[in-house]
Amino acid sequence: MDPAKRASVGARSETQLEEQVKDWLRYGEDLGLGPYYRDRPPLHAIAESAAAPQTVATSSAIPTAVPAAMTAAAAGRAPASSINVAASASQKSPAATILPATAPSLFESIERIAGDTLPRIREDIGDCARCKLHKGRTKIVFGTGNPSADLMFVGEGPGRDEDLSGEPFVGRAGKLLTDMIKAMGLQREDVYIANVVKCRPPENRLPEKDEITTCSPFLMRQIDAIKPKVICTLGSCSAQTLLQTAQGISKLRGEWFDFRGAKLMPTYHPAYLLRNPGAKPEVWKDLQKVMAVLGLQPKKR
Ligand code: URA
């Protein structure tokens, strides 16, 4: 190729390359990656903060035995009070600190709506048909409780009883959750209870990705409006959704995470506890950490 032609081809490919880079930058801009890379802490800081212990010391004033209310809950399961929490606690090593979830979550970047309120969020949901779950639902299960609660529980989605009543956690798992709340020295009305999706998934299956993507922004708005000090996620779906991680619940539970200004504690779902009452001491231990942060005393027997 003669040198003049080579120069002209070189110039053209340079322009093409420049255009391609600009395209990538525009694409990144559309995805909001600019602010993400600009604002996130440097990787070494993320790694250092992940390496630091994140658990909050449990008040020594709080007993470690599983409360009777939790052990007796929902259809007379075998009492678990004989199981020593301290023993199971020692099985969880500090090495269980999770790195990915300490990175900024996608939801951290969702903008807060100034002055948002629960009634406005409910109004915006309306008679929702945004995802396929609306086809099988009886009632939208928005959430219930204290609109300025310090403690918020987040489940995965309504079951049959909740779909019929329009209230979260009213079935067998709900009764156990109520007992857990009472064991913490609170009443159901003191806390706020919501779910990742607001309509019942058919056959009580897990909510699917598209359903979660469609519905969870309303949960984020609820969290922003309530501004709880602590969010306790119940089961893998809600922990994985809020923390944007694929880590299993057995790895996540019992560890503190920061989420939109709140402290987030993942624990097992009460429905799991109904099937596996032996896991109650672990949940009670997680709840005790929550109680320590909120300054709660366990219910007197
Ligand atoms: N399970 C959930 O996750 N949420 C409910 O509301 C009821 C059962």
Q: Is the pLDDT of residue 238 over 90?
A: yes
The CA 241 to ligand 1 mean position distance, Å, reads 15
121 lies in the same domain as 267: yes
**What average pLDDT does range 282-290 have in this prediction?**
98
Instruction: Confirm whether 187 is domain-assigned.
Output: yes
The CA 168 to ligand 1 mean position distance, Å, reads 6
Instruction: Kindly state if the Cβ of 157 falls inside 6 Å of ligand 1.
Output: yes
The percent of residues above 70 in pLDDT, for the chain, comes to 65
123 lies in the same domain as 263: yes
Instruction: Confirm whether 301 is domain-assigned.
Output: no
Q: Rounded CA gap, 291 and 185, in Å?
A: 9
241 lies in the same domain as 190: yes
157 lies in the same domain as 10: no
The CA 193 to ligand 1 mean position distance, Å, reads 9
Which pLDDT band holds residue 71 (cuts at 50, 70, 90)? low
Q: Is the pLDDT of residue 231 over 80?
A: yes
For residue 74, the enclosing domain spans: 58-294
**What average pLDDT does range 275-290 have in this prediction?**
98
For 243, half-sphere exposure in the C-beta direction (CA atoms, 13 angstrom radius) is 33
Instruction: Confirm whether 52 is domain-assigned.
Output: no
280 lies in the same domain as 224: yes
Of 102-111, 214-223, 245-254, 267-276, give the lowest mean pLDDT range: 102-111
Of 100-114, 181-195, 222-236, give the lowest mean pLDDT range: 100-114
Instruction: Confirm whether 48 is domain-assigned.
Output: no
272 lies in the same domain as 190: yes
Instruction: Confirm whether 157 is domain-assigned.
Output: yes
Instruction: Kindly state if the Cβ of 236 falls inside 6 Å of ligand 1.
Output: no
H helix intervals, 31-157 = 33-39, 43-51, 68-76, 85-89, 118-125
pLDDT of residue 162: 98
Question: How many structural domains compose the chain?
Answer: 2
pLDDT tens digits for 38-57?
Answer: 334 444 444 444 444 443 33
The CA 154 to ligand 1 mean position distance, Å, reads 9
**Atom 7 of ligand 1, residue of closest alpha carbon:** 169
CATH number, domain containing residue 185: 3.40.470.10
Instruction: Kindly state if the Cβ of 169 falls inside 6 Å of ligand 1.
Output: yes
Q: Rounded CA gap, 173 and 267, in Å?
A: 14
137 lies in the same domain as 199: yes
22 lies in the same domain as 75: no
Whether 149 and 191 have beta carbons less than 8 Å apart is answered as yes
Instruction: Confirm whether 47 is domain-assigned.
Output: no
Q: Rounded CA gap, 264 and 231, in Å?
A: 5
81 lies in the same domain as 22: no
166 lies in the same domain as 207: yes
Instruction: Confirm whether 27 is domain-assigned.
Output: yes
34 lies in the same domain as 65: no
The percent of residues above 90 in pLDDT, for the chain, comes to 61
Instruction: Kindly state if the Cβ of 159 falls inside 6 Å of ligand 1.
Output: yes
Q: Rounded CA gap, 155 and 289, in Å?
A: 19
- Parallel/antiparallel/unpaired status of strands 262-267 and 230-234: parallel
Instruction: Confirm whether 177 is domain-assigned.
Output: yes
Testing ligand 1's pocket by substitution, the residue of 156, 216, 272 carrying the most ligand atoms inside 8 A of its CB is: 156
Instruction: Kindly state if the Cβ of 196 falls inside 6 Å of ligand 1.
Output: no
Instruction: Kindly state if the Cβ of 158 falls inside 6 Å of ligand 1.
Output: yes
The CA 195 to ligand 1 mean position distance, Å, reads 7
17 lies in the same domain as 159: no
Mean pLDDT, the chain, whole residue set: 79
